[in-house]
Amino acid sequence: LQIINKSIAEESTGANSCANCSITEHLESVFAQAIALAYPEYSKTPVLIAPVNTGSAKFGDYQCNNAMGLAKKFKEAGINKSPREIATELQRHCPSSPLIDKLEVAGAGFVNVFLSKAFAAEALSSMLRDGIKPPSVPRKRVLVDFSSPNIAKQMHVGHLRSTIIGESICRLLEFLQHDVLRINHLGDWGTQFGMLIAHLEDRFPNYLNESPPIHDLQLFYKESKLRFDEDEEFKKRAYSRVVSLQNGTPNSIKAWELICNVSRKEFQTIYERLDVTIQERGESFYQSRMLSVVELLRSKHLLETDDGREIMWPDETKTGIPLTIVKSDGGFTYDTSDMAAIRHRVEEEKCTWIIYVVDAGQSTHFNTIFKAAERCAILNPSVHRVDHVQFGVVLGEDGKKFKTRSGDTVKLSDLLDEGMKRSLQQLESRGREKVLTPQELKDAQEAVAYGCIKYADLRHNRVGDYIFSFDKMLDDRGNTAVYLLYTYTRICSIARNSGEDFTDVAKVLSTVSIELGHEKEWKLAKTLLKMHDIFIKCSKELFLHFLCEFCYEVCAVFTEFYDSCYCIERNKAGEIIGVNRSRILLCEATAAVLRQSFHILGLKPVVKM
Ligand code: ARG
């Protein structure tokens, strides 16, 4: 036993072995080893590690809560062991770890873990020296299907949520070194194109040679719909245009491209403003693959005729809602394109993780697609992970669906313009235009405007609905982007005002070491080191509000630290008489952690605002 114990200890010791690790995951492995050594018969027990509220220092920093569960198992096997007895055994069998200062058994049978200050100081120093490195996780090829508006229809606030959440998920997974494909599953292939093409032919007969000036595609769509509903001849021609488009007739393709380009330009400006990167792969991309997926389903005898349509049940029980794979007129549907898409993603793109960032209203659709894909063996649940990352609707301040005063859907570009206006007002109300250069003011304005819209969305648990309120999101006191950005600039200014040069942190670190003697220094250090736990947790559950809560906590704990620990000491005349370099390094570490988190949340930090 001692030999095993020793080898495990050696493996996990090596200096720096855990500079970038998730502390929770590290402790999970420590206690997994302890359980395996103490009770080999229960070595598969999932380890339970919980962080201890930072307020109650005497209970340590993390807690292992396995003793109670193990006692129960022993009891079932006819053996009486108290949880405290078990906790003591676990404590005795923990391999030594550089992260752990001491272990204590407490209460009904908890093992409290006290983190080592030496480890924390070293982890923060290496973070400052080498930058923030991601914790290591098994690398996957992930496809994130997000944003995905529809051509000719307005890109609305629902698509805004998908765009914001999807972009942040991509950034998080990229930071964790996954191979991420960012896909815009544009609605570019519906029956509405028949009407649009037929209308284009009449309105701009010269469309083959000259780009038609359809600036307002919405209006154009409305006009064509009106004709479609009233004019039999037009309707017939519209239907025939859908067929010729799907068959790839050159003129129809050309008309379709012209129409798509109008929307595409609009979407692109929104993506640029929000700093979103996404690759377009719309429904049209799957046309030939829809044909072949239908073949596949037919050959597997999974299609049934129903009232002229061909449908597929998600499983043998034939309950729930079936997919409509082929319509009675022979056309395909949203279901068909999603079956073709999931197959392409698994079989051609070789993805092992597919994430759909789409509103909660489509959850039945995605559940059915996932089940059906499993049924026809496209998905293998032991290899592929699929997630419908759903989100609620955006509400106005009156609690009703978000609309303009006149009751129309809100145009995204108008919304972003409004954000820019309000953010400038906010900055001016603090007199910032007098202090900042025009460029600094503009950077701050954009950071606040787009940052506050993104953050207001991300900080709520996405599953719920959320109320869109500029007043709330621009409040500089609550958990808002404005508050975080201000705190960040304040932290950055500390090193700058010290009169010393901290730009080359590595050099500073060669003569200064991080001290964590003060209670508030220690609390700040431990808070910062939770970062990797948070990244892992967010990526496992695909919830970003945990990261927002973390940023808010970092700012609050930083403020506590700054209030009670001087970094720069001045005399009555305001002259600097002392600089605490270790504390300034802590400030810089805090800024680095915030910067990394901001990047994932899509917030652009500004040095001055
Ligand atoms: N275009 C759809 C909509 O606006 C969203 C598409 C989501 N992605 C997918 N693979 N179905 O509702």
Ligand 1 centroid to Cα of residue 411, in Å, is 19
Confidence of residue 229 (pLDDT cuts 50, 70, 90): very high
Which residue among 289, 362, 365 is best mutated to probe the pocket of ligand 1, counting the most ligand atoms within 8 A of its Cβ?
362
CA distance 18 to 219: 59
Confidence of residue 155 (pLDDT cuts 50, 70, 90): confident
- Take atom 8 of ligand 1 and give the residue whose Cα is closest: 185
Confidence of residue 115 (pLDDT cuts 50, 70, 90): very high
* pLDDT surpasses 90 at 407: no
CA distance 571 to 579: 12
Query: What tokens were used for 507?
Result: 């050099």
Are residues 422 and 470 in contact, defined by beta-carbon separation less than 8 angstroms?
yes
Bridge partners (DSSP) listed for residue 70: none
- Concatenated DSSP letters of 63-125: EE-HHHHHHHHHHHTT----HHHHHHHHHHHPPP-TTEEEEEEETTTEEEEEE-HHHHHHHHH
User: 570-590 burial by CB neighbour count: b if 16+ within 10 A, else e?
Assistant: eeeeeeeeebbbbbbbbbbbb
pLDDT of residue 329: 87
Confidence of residue 6 (pLDDT cuts 50, 70, 90): very low
- Take atom 9 of ligand 1 and give the residue whose Cα is closest: 185
CA distance 101 to 368: 50
Ligand 1 centroid to Cα of residue 196, in Å, is 20
pLDDT of residue 211: 82
* pLDDT surpasses 70 at 119: yes
Ligand 1 centroid to Cα of residue 542, in Å, is 19
Range of lowest pLDDT (7-21, 178-192, 244-258, 403-417): 7-21
CA distance 594 to 488: 7
* pLDDT surpasses 60 at 72: yes
**pLDDT mean across residues, the chain:** 93
Sign, CA dihedral 422-427-428-430, equals positive
What's phi and psi for 139, nearest 5 deg? -80, 135
* pLDDT surpasses 70 at 41: yes
- Take atom 6 of ligand 1 and give the residue whose Cα is closest: 148
Question: Which atom of ligand 1 is nearest to 358's Cα?
Answer: 7
Please give the average per-residue pLDDT across 64-81, as a whole number: 96
Question: Which atom of ligand 1 is nearest to 359's Cα?
Answer: 12
- Take atom 5 of ligand 1 and give the residue whose Cα is closest: 148
* pLDDT surpasses 50 at 2: no
Single-letter amino acid, residue 586: L
* pLDDT surpasses 60 at 305: yes
Please give the average per-residue pLDDT across 172-201, as a whole number: 95
CA distance 105 to 92: 10
Which residue among 144, 146, 148 is best mutated to probe the pocket of ligand 1, counting the most ligand atoms within 8 A of its Cβ?
148
Please give the average per-residue pLDDT across 104-122, as a whole number: 95
Please give the average per-residue pLDDT across 573-589, as a whole number: 96
Ligand 1 centroid to Cα of residue 128, in Å, is 42
pLDDT of residue 18: 76
Ligand 1 centroid to Cα of residue 185, in Å, is 6
- Report the share of the chain in percent with pLDDT over 90: 87
- Take atom 3 of ligand 1 and give the residue whose Cα is closest: 149
Question: Which atom of ligand 1 is nearest to 153's Cα?
Answer: 4
CA distance 366 to 368: 5
Ligand 1 centroid to Cα of residue 39, in Å, is 50
Q: How far is CA 220 from CA 21, 201, 203, 229, in A?
A: 55, 12, 10, 14
Are residues 444 and 608 in contact, defined by beta-carbon separation less than 8 angstroms?
yes
Which residue among 267, 323, 358, 412 is best mutated to probe the pocket of ligand 1, counting the most ligand atoms within 8 A of its Cβ?
358
Per DSSP, 352 falls in state S
Please give the average per-residue pLDDT across 324-349, as a whole number: 96
Ligand 1 centroid to Cα of residue 339, in Å, is 13
pLDDT of residue 17: 60
Are residues 289 and 343 in contact, defined by beta-carbon separation less than 8 angstroms?
yes
Q: If DSSP codes are grouped into helix, strand and coil, which group holds residue 9?
A: helix
pLDDT of residue 465: 94
**H or E stretch at 578:** strand 576-579
Prediction pTM value: 0.94
Confidence of residue 212 (pLDDT cuts 50, 70, 90): confident
Q: How many helices (H) and strands (E) does the chain have?
A: 23, 16
* pLDDT surpasses 50 at 4: no
Closest CA to 96 of 166, 26, 147: 26
Please give the average per-residue pLDDT across 361-380, as a whole number: 97
Ligand 1 centroid to Cα of residue 338, in Å, is 9
Please give the average per-residue pLDDT across 49-61, as a whole number: 81
Q: Give the residue, 191 or 444, on which the prediction is more confident.
A: 444
* pLDDT surpasses 60 at 585: yes
pLDDT of residue 364: 97
CA distance 578 to 318: 76
Ligand 1 centroid to Cα of residue 207, in Å, is 29
Confidence of residue 56 (pLDDT cuts 50, 70, 90): low
Ligand 1 centroid to Cα of residue 224, in Å, is 23
* pLDDT surpasses 90 at 194: yes
Which residue among 146, 185, 188, 386 is best mutated to probe the pocket of ligand 1, counting the most ligand atoms within 8 A of its Cβ?
185
What's phi and psi for 525, nearest 5 deg? -60, -45
pLDDT of residue 188: 95
Give the contacts of 469 (CB within 8 A, at least 6 positions apart).
Answer: 397, 456
**Protein residues whose CB sits closer than 6 Å to any atom of ligand 1:** 145, 148-150, 185, 187, 338, 341, 356, 358
ipTM: 0.99
Q: How far is CA 43 from CA 22, 30, 31, in A?
A: 22, 12, 10
Question: Which atom of ligand 1 is nearest to 158's Cα?
Answer: 4
Per DSSP, 410 falls in state P
Ligand 1 centroid to Cα of residue 148, in Å, is 5
Give the contacts of 208 (CB within 8 A, at least 6 positions apart).
Answer: 251, 254
E strands, 402-490, where?
Answer: 466-467
Range of lowest pLDDT (215-229, 399-413, 533-547): 399-413
Range of lowest pLDDT (405-409, 452-456, 577-581): 405-409
Please give the average per-residue pLDDT across 317-328, as a whole number: 94
CA distance 448 to 454: 10
Bridge partners (DSSP) listed for residue 141: 179
Ligand 1 centroid to Cα of residue 380, in Å, is 23
Give the contacts of 563 (CB within 8 A, at least 6 positions apart).
Answer: none
Please give the average per-residue pLDDT across 415-441, as a whole number: 95
CA distance 585 to 592: 10
- Take atom 12 of ligand 1 and give the residue whose Cα is closest: 149
Confidence of residue 586 (pLDDT cuts 50, 70, 90): very high
Query: What tokens were used for 253?
Result: 């393709």
What's phi and psi for 473, nearest 5 deg? -75, -20
pLDDT of residue 149: 95
Confidence of residue 5 (pLDDT cuts 50, 70, 90): very low
Closest CA to 259 of 224, 227, 212: 212
* pLDDT surpasses 60 at 13: no
**H or E stretch at 315:** none
Residue 356: other Cβ atoms inside 10 A: 27
CA distance 455 to 602: 8
Q: How far is CA 209 from CA 121, 188, 199, 212, 254, in A?
A: 68, 23, 17, 9, 10
Query: What tokens were used for 512?
Result: 């200064």
Confidence of residue 476 (pLDDT cuts 50, 70, 90): confident
pLDDT of residue 53: 78
